[in-house]
């Protein structure tokens, strides 16, 4: 009995000591620690758990410095879970200066909530701070004239935004810029330079994919769950660069907001107006904002893309195998160009 009493007293003293040590930490140090946790969060629960720990962390977790550091993975909310509290949280992060929150909320407002002006403004706010995905998304909007009419297209502005995003290392922007140079789309044609940029984009994508593969191997070794299939380069979806050679590596991680867009329209949370379509590239999720906005495959006419980058990726990932000439499409005079080519659907509709 005496031994149990001593153990209980010892345990209570230890708990009180730990509590006193935590309470004794200054707020600025705790905020710094929470900021580190927020910047490395791999999912929304990682950040939400901070709020649930104790009242003090619940209060300090909404400090502007913490909200400005929240990682984009913490914004990976499911479309079916979209609600006012999530919207308010994103707005708080935007107010704190979080560029990822500006981009995420901007994309959601522009494409899902159809608040074009506010969405574009938020993306521009992030783009001013050299946020590459925002620059590229604004370029896609300029190329397509999204949210307006066909006459609102600004190809030169799209190329300029793509060039800026490519300079910051955005692979899709680099690929889009390469195709623009090859085709003379919005810029003077320069086939050799365009080809060089496309090769550079593939090289960067390959490096990123292999880096992800190495990290996954290290994680598997750490947990001692080794399996030959996990190491095989021929399993699962792959990198477009190597798909032509029958050797695949993991595809680059899709940004959570692109996953959100795809889920929003495919799950029925949001509805596309009649005649509007989603980009056929599975990693995009962008919808048309008016009929015949996106380019369509010039051979089968069954798929459409918001950009040349999406078309090139989807061609190597899956469409190359599925694409078959559509006789009705060709008889109508729509099928012009190579199999990999795309045509402006708007020009065909006139």
In a domain, 108, yes or no: no
In a domain, 54, yes or no: no
In a domain, 246, yes or no: no
Domain count, the chain: 1
In a domain, 315, yes or no: yes
* Helix%, strand%, coil% for the chain, nearest 5: 65, 5, 35
Catalogue the E-assigned strands of the chain: 295-297, 304-305, 342-344
In a domain, 174, yes or no: no
In a domain, 285, yes or no: yes
Place of tokens 């365009």: 194
Residues recorded for the chain: 350
Q: Which residues of 53-77 are buried (b: 16+ CB within 10 A; e: fewer)?
A: eeeebeebbebeebbbbbbbbbbbb
In a domain, 304, yes or no: yes
Q: What range does the domain containing 267 cover?
A: 256-349
In a domain, 190, yes or no: no
pTM: 0.81
* Per-residue model confidence as pLDDT tens for the chain (350 residues): 556 655 665 665 555 544 557 777 888 998 999 999 999 998 899 888 888 888 888 899 999 999 999 999 999 999 999 999 999 999 999 999 999 999 999 999 999 999 999 999 999 999 999 999 999 999 999 999 998 888 889 999 999 999 999 999 999 999 999 999 998 999 999 999 999 999 998 888 788 777 777 766 666 565 444 443 443 333 344 555 554 444 454 556 789 999 999 999 988 888 888 889 999 988 899 999 999 899 888 888 888 999 988 888 888 778 888 888 876 554 555 543 333 444 444 433 33
| Long-range interactions of 32-40: CB distance < 8 A, separation 24+ | 34/60, 34/61, 34/63, 34/66, 35/65, 35/66, 35/69, 36/69, 38/66, 38/67, 38/69, 38/70, 38/71, 38/74, 39/69, 39/70, 39/71, 40/71
Q: Tell me the CA distances in angstroms from 56 to 63, 85, 267, one per residue in order.
A: 11, 21, 38
């Amino acid at each position: 009995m005496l031994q149990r009493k001593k153990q209980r007293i010892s345990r209570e003293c230890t708990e009180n000591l730990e509590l006193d040590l935590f309470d004794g930490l200054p707020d600025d140090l705790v905020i710094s620690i929470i900021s580190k946790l927020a910047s490395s969060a791999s999912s929304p629960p990682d950040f939400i758990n901070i709020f649930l720990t104790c009242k003090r962390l619940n209060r300090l977790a909404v400090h502007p410095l913490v909200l400005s550091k929240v990682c984009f993975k913490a914004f990976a909310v499911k479309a079916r879970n979209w609600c006012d509290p999530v919207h308010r949280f994103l707005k708080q992060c935007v107010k704190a200066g979080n560029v990822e929150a500006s981009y995420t909320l901007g994309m959601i407002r522009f494409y899902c909530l159809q608040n074009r002006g506010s969405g574009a403004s938020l993306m521009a706010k992030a783009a001013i701070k050299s946020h590459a995905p925002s620059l590229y998304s604004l370029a896609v909007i300029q190329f397509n004239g999204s949210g307006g009419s066909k006459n609102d297209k600004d190809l030169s502005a799209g190329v300029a935004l793509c060039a800026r995003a490519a300079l910051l290392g955005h692979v899709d922007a680099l690929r889009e810029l390469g195709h623009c140079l090859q085709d003379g789309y919005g810029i003077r044609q320069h086939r050799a330079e365009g080809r060089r940029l496309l090769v550079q984009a593939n090289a960067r994508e390959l490096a990123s994919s292999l880096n992800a593969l190495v990290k996954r191997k290290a994680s598997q070794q750490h947990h001692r769950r080794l399996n030959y299939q996990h190491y095989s380069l021929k399993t699962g979806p792959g990198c477009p660069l190597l798909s032509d050679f029958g050797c695949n590596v993991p595809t680059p991680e899709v940004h959570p907001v692109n996953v959100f867009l795809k889920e929003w329209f495919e799950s029925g949370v949001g509805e596309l107006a009649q005649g509007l379509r989603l980009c056929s590239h599975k990693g995009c999720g962008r919808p048309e904002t008016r009929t015949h906005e996106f380019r369509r495959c010039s051979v089968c006419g069954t798929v459409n893309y918001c950009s040349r980058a999406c078309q090139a990726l989807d061609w190597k990932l899956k469409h190359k195998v599925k694409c078959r000439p559509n006789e009705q499409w060709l008889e109508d005079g729509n099928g012009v160009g190579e199999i990999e080519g795309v045509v402006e659907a708007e020009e065909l509709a006139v």
